[in-house]
Structure 1
């Protein structure tokens, strides 16, 4: 490769970097040396219209690693034909109406657009699109009010018409600036930066000394990108061209190094000279490519990691699940058996809500299902293995009723009232070595709600909540009659229609309850682990109160009286409490955090922000709400904590949690660095 070719490539890079700097920094940046050679390099920007499936993410981490070695010059990934599903409308639900449709009026959280909707910068290149957004939400429609003027900008699906989930979203026709970003030099957080090594040779042939110059240019641009990506809560999304620019720079550098190696004399020993991407850098590149938002770093502390369900996670081809939500997680508590190393018995179980086989909440509909994962390295996403069909293995990726079809885990018993759907809201495992029916010495419990009607934004009606149990790692569940809480206005059970579980380490399971919908506060009950199925054995926390003549009644636990429970989280703050973060509580998750040495709760509030509170004890007093991320384009809800987060286990400051996105109607994994709060 001659000097002119090098100068040509550098010219192309200089043009791209210069234009990018001028567009986004507001001024031009020039580099000069003592040479007078000039040439223009050319590059082509790939453009494509969004389809209904989008690029598929490698299914496992091994696949991702293999994919990272592929040709960086490829522009658009072919959609794997195996990921396509046929229109199977069969509904395996038992004792429920066939093909029961979810109410199209079902809506989610209303949002204050002035304080929460992210404002778009000036018109800029639109992000790539993939699938059409769902037409109706079977659990939520958190939204920006009509007229907010949100510009469609998700990588897979986008809600239009002001991003109001009450209006059926339409697929936005957009053009991607650059699609090859899997190995792009993208901004990294903390110590997760890529490193560059200048190429060296042992030959006496002198080549134009421009490689180091271009590396310096790119490094300076990366430093600038770091600063641009250091967002704060409420900041506008970063321009997509920034990521495209970094992708182009990375690709051109790799081409330079490859050409340099290819054209070197055979007798010369060429040292490896490519930019070495660390695992963290590769994960960040994947996040940038798959993120539903322009910048995966959604706040100073919190960032998008990867998808857990949907086309990018290939739950379509493997489980016939195109869209689902919630993603409640708990440790199954099963001890690994060294005699069967091929089976990872210790797993995270992930209960999800209404699931559909086709885009737009169409095709086969099941009330719920369950996924499993043994993945402990969450920095690059959470891997769900393939299913195990008809071989007796109860540790596959999901319970199945076909070779590649997930099935519901909880169906409506004939002795309970009818439902539009049955949605899991909490899960926990309890060691039960004395129960001969527990195959692995552990029983799994899932609390769920029976929805009878979807109403306005953030409102729905339940007729009861109940608990189902499983003896076989979630493969089969049975609803316990003694666990049913009928939703009556005259009963305190109305405050326990949705739940969150946490084990207190004192023999009790603590149960946080909220009313149906998203307008309530959180209440607390506890029960001995062995009595979790019997609501008559529950005790309810009543806060201390003051009497008429200065007397004080201390806080206490009241057995068998759910109406005695006090609101311990939310609905506080006085006359203007509703203006503060965390006022209402919806879809909460609780666990003890070793890093903080406190209990942690995550939930969505009245403005559809994701907030966190902490407490020394399960009952509180709970801290003021800290906002982890504001409402995002597409509508976010249901933050569900991962039990194997480093901060939870005391091995680091990172907290991982699932988050649902309405416009995509799928679950993604998020990361919060608690050291940055």
Structure 2
């Protein structure tokens, strides 16, 4: 199978443990913080380790995983879950991009490793009866002809109490670099520590909506626990919108419980239960994304790509912005085929000045571990 999809992408060839790895409740500001932007630059970007495939610090061959991408992270208790997308169990040594045999749309690894400085060692995987990585949300694997589902790509994972939720997009066609089409986006639920999953048929968003790919942060507002979810359409050129849902299983599993950011009135955020009222909070060509609250900067950070090109970092004054101009992390010239920079608040160092992140690279079709340093304007 050769996936000419989100990758041919080279068209443009904190510190505390939180409930989930795209943010955190402790100290995060739910309203605009005073003052302006304080991030001066991103520098010191370093490849720390390879996480998947031949030559990685993890033996992924033993679970029949020879190539994978994505690797967004969520911490539940002491475990941090790594969620991978399309993966292949058998690949030629010189294989390029998403190609190979024993194709699975997704899989999950977990770790208790809390030292990001030398890479992340996986403690285990969700496995099938053959002791191979399990496709937890089976994709239909239809031809890439816009007729049926090609694959189910996981876009985010979060937890409420002991229940885990996995967001996915149902891809029906991989088009030009950074362009694809989806039938819908949805949620699946696990109540047995990720071993089995049930798709929630009543919780879906249209494939042309702005909530096909997600980033999430658990956030407490006026004593109420919420899951904030930033969304983009299918592909890598969409604008960012924002929704939220109460951090209760009954709410997460009821589509009418979701509230969409509908703008500000007299400086106050307004929310609507009507998807059509959702407004854009970041009007940049955005790809796979992650969001966290930086305790070092006391600002929000959003990592993604810009127009299917460079990996970038935005600074935000509130969950809905305003957002800064993009700070360049890596370019396609630096690292051809890069995509999907995912942050995790568990994995920071130097009092939040250094962030660690996963990064997919299309050429070898593997996931790598990187670090970057945040420099304040006029200081460190």
**TM-score (structure 1 length as normaliser):** 0.47
Confirm or deny: 8 A CA contact 1:309 1:323 kept in the other structure: yes
Match of 2:298 in 1: 597
Work out the CA distance in 2 between the residues paired with 1:514 and 1:630: 21
Render the CA deviation track for 1:613-641: whole Å, top value 9, x for unaligned.
12232112222211112223431000111
Confirm or deny: 8 A CA contact 2:11 2:178 kept in the other structure: no
Higher relative contact order (CA 8 A, sep 6+): 2
Confirm or deny: 8 A CA contact 1:372 1:384 kept in the other structure: yes
Work out the CA distance in 1 between the residues paired with 2:312 and 2:226: 26
Asked whether 1:477 is paired with 2:215, we answer no
Work out the CA distance in 2 between the residues paired with 1:495 and 1:317: 37
Match of 1:421 in 2: 151
**Partner SS, residue 10 of structure 2:** coil
Question: Whose radius of gyration is greater, 1 or 2?
Answer: 1
Match of 2:276 among 547, 551, 563: 563
Work out the CA distance in 1 between the residues paired with 2:134 and 2:246: 31
Structure 2: tracts of 5 or more residues without a match: 14-40, 141-146
Aligned residue runs from structure 1 range 54-453, under 5 A: 101-103=1-3, 106-107=4-5, 139-143=6-10, 300-313=43-56, 314-332=58-76, 334=77, 346-359=78-91, 360=95, 361-385=99-123, 397-402=124-129, 404-411=131-138, 418-431=148-161, 442-453=162-173
Work out the CA distance in 1 between the residues paired with 2:53 and 2:270: 43
Asked whether 1:528 is paired with 2:246, we answer yes
Aligned residue runs from structure 1 range 494-643, under 5 A: 494-506=209-221, 507-530=225-248, 531-544=251-264, 556-570=269-283, 583-606=284-307, 608-631=309-332, 632-643=334-345
**Partner SS, residue 149 of structure 2:** coil
Cα–Cα, structure 1 residues 639 and 323, in superposed 2: closer, same or farther, change >3 Å?
Answer: same
**Partner SS, residue 113 of structure 2:** coil
Question: When you count strand as a share of all residues, which structure comes out higher?
Answer: 2
The Cα shift of 1:365 comes to 0.5
Measured on the aligned residues, the alpha-carbon RMSD in Å equals 2.3
Match of 1:646 in 2: 348
Structure 1: tracts of 5 or more residues without a match: 1-100, 108-138, 146-163, 165-232, 234-298, 335-345, 386-396, 432-441, 489-493, 545-551, 571-582
Question: When you count helix as a share of all residues, which structure comes out higher?
Answer: 1
Work out the CA distance in 1 between the residues paired with 2:158 and 2:60: 27
> How many residue pairs get matched?
331
Render the CA deviation track for 1:271-330: whole Å, top value 9, x for unaligned.
xxxxxxxxxxxxxxxxxxxxxxxxxxxx83211100111112244422111111010101
The Cα shift of 1:514 comes to 0.5
Confirm or deny: 8 A CA contact 2:262 2:279 kept in the other structure: yes
**Partner SS, residue 536 of structure 1:** helix
**Partner SS, residue 318 of structure 1:** helix
**Partner SS, residue 617 of structure 1:** coil
The Cα shift of 1:534 comes to 1.9
Cα–Cα, structure 1 residues 469 and 102, in superposed 2: closer, same or farther, change >3 Å?
Answer: farther
Cα–Cα, structure 1 residues 558 and 646, in superposed 2: closer, same or farther, change >3 Å?
Answer: closer
**Partner SS, residue 328 of structure 1:** strand
**TM-score (structure 2 length as normaliser):** 0.81
Confirm or deny: 8 A CA contact 1:527 1:538 kept in the other structure: yes
Render the CA deviation track for 1:42-93: whole Å, top value 9, x for unaligned.
xxxxxxxxxxxxxxxxxxxxxxxxxxxxxxxxxxxxxxxxxxxxxxxxxxxx
Work out the CA distance in 2 between the residues paired with 1:535 and 1:418: 24
Confirm or deny: 8 A CA contact 1:538 1:560 kept in the other structure: yes
The Cα shift of 1:402 comes to 4.2
